Amino acid sequence: MTDILNRGQQRAGRLLRELLPRRQHYRPVGVHPSSRGVATRPDSGARYTEVYPTQISHLNVTPDLYAHTTDYGGLHAKPNRLEQTPAAFVLALAEGRLLADNALSVAVISADNRLVGDASFQYDPRRSDLARPEKNNVFAQRWFSEPRRVRGTVASLLSGGGAAMGNYYHWLIDSLPRLHLLKKAGFWDEIDYFLVYDGQRRFVADSLRALGIRPEQVLDLRTHRHLVADRLLVTSPVRGAGTHTPQWACSFLRDELRAAAAPQTFSPYVYLSRRDAPARHVLNEPDVEALLRPYGFETHVLGDYSFGQQLALFAGARAVVAPTGAGLANLVFAPAGTPVVELFPKHFTVVEYPELCFRLGLPHRYLVADAANGPLTSRRAGWRENLTVDLNALSSCLHQVL
């Protein structure tokens, strides 16, 4: 409920800021299309460091899964089997400014008051897709708060979209790997502060602490929605302009965070329940649990667990069964070869976790439930759809993977 209220307040605030004029000199006067280009300009005070070159990314999607995957267009269309991933980089901006007062944009602004296009985030909800930098909603804004001055070097971990709304998957996949780019570019020891969406979220605080970041180094948007720093560090988006997770991001999460696992032992056969989640409930879950129990499966509700407990659970897993959801981002900590059985609602069959399994070497199987309430046409309705698991199909699937 708190997240819904916050999103409502952000939306209302954004609309008001497009109507009421105040401090309009903070609106950018144009766009630098590329971070590399900013750094080549005389007296820009910018430094561009390429960490990984552009590359072609492949995804092996079976024809059957491709046919079942829901298509809502844009970033939520059918999966891409091939993507060209742009170079991964870090940009250092002297007197860099950042504005992030809504979930649809992060405006990174250089000292000459221009938006840095490939380091900013802009999303068009009507098309469910990324927008061109010129369409960043900062250009429609008329009311601006005074930016807070931060002395020293600030590194932004903001990634927009789902991460802005507190989603665990997007924090793990789209925000945390930016720390790897900062390390590889040689900036780690020079950073005074790290900017996140909400430093009070348990998984945010726990994961940053596991990576050696102290609480006093964390700034978040409750107090720093608009800031200007002596030096601002921003990175390229982890997944570029696409949907494929780079191998370096998976390796970083596994190598750097596994040691943070809690000293706790669980059954290696893991079933994740969404009974504490707002949507995608398994309607016949008691029957599913009864079917799984003779195999040694235990039920886990991840909202009750610390970040370290989630790491320990997945690091010791030998098999995972779960309805699709953000908790499956923890598959990055599972041993190679761990089989995964993912349970999809009819209208929310998505490729995020099959894609992750492909990168991690985890055999992936799936079941798609029949429609719970007839045809659905919107992604929002699909996201909320519950599911009834076919027990015979699940039994057959278990015999194949165990």
Quote the CA–CA distance of 211 and 177 in Å, as a whole number: 11
Quote the CA–CA distance of 301 and 274 in Å, as a whole number: 7
- CA nearest to 394, candidates 280, 303, 282, 268: 282
pLDDT in tens, the chain (402 residues): 455 545 555 665 666 667 778 899 999 999 999 999 999 999 999 999 999 999 999 999 999 999 999 999 999 999 999 999 999 999 999 999 999 998 899 999 999 999 999 999 999 999 999 999 999 999 999 999 999 999 999 999 999 888 788 899 999 999 999 999 999 999 999 999 999 999 999 999 999 999 999 999 999 999 999 999 999 999 999 999 889 999 999 999 999 999 999 999 999 999 999 999 999 999 999 999 999 999 999 999 999 999 999 999 999 999 999 999 999 999 999 999 999 999 999 999 999 999 999 999 999 999 999 998 889 989 999 999 999 999 999 999 999 999
Quote the CA–CA distance of 107 and 120 in Å, as a whole number: 5
Q: Note the pLDDT tens digit of each residue in 134-190.
A: 999 999 999 999 999 999 999 999 998 887 888 999 999 999 999 999 999 999 999
Quote the CA–CA distance of 2 and 20 in Å, as a whole number: 27
Contacts of 374 (CB under 8 A, 6+ apart): none
Residue 32 β-bridge partners = 116
Tokens describing residue 319 = 């098999």
Quote the CA–CA distance of 144 and 167 in Å, as a whole number: 27
Quote the CA–CA distance of 148 and 305 in Å, as a whole number: 35
Quote the CA–CA distance of 45 and 25 in Å, as a whole number: 21
Residue 322 β-bridge partners = 342
Tokens describing residue 93 = 């901006």
Q: Alpha-carbon torsion 349, 355, 356, 362, what sign?
A: positive
* Contact indicator for 317, 339 with CB cutoff of 8 Å: no
Quote the CA–CA distance of 367 and 370 in Å, as a whole number: 10
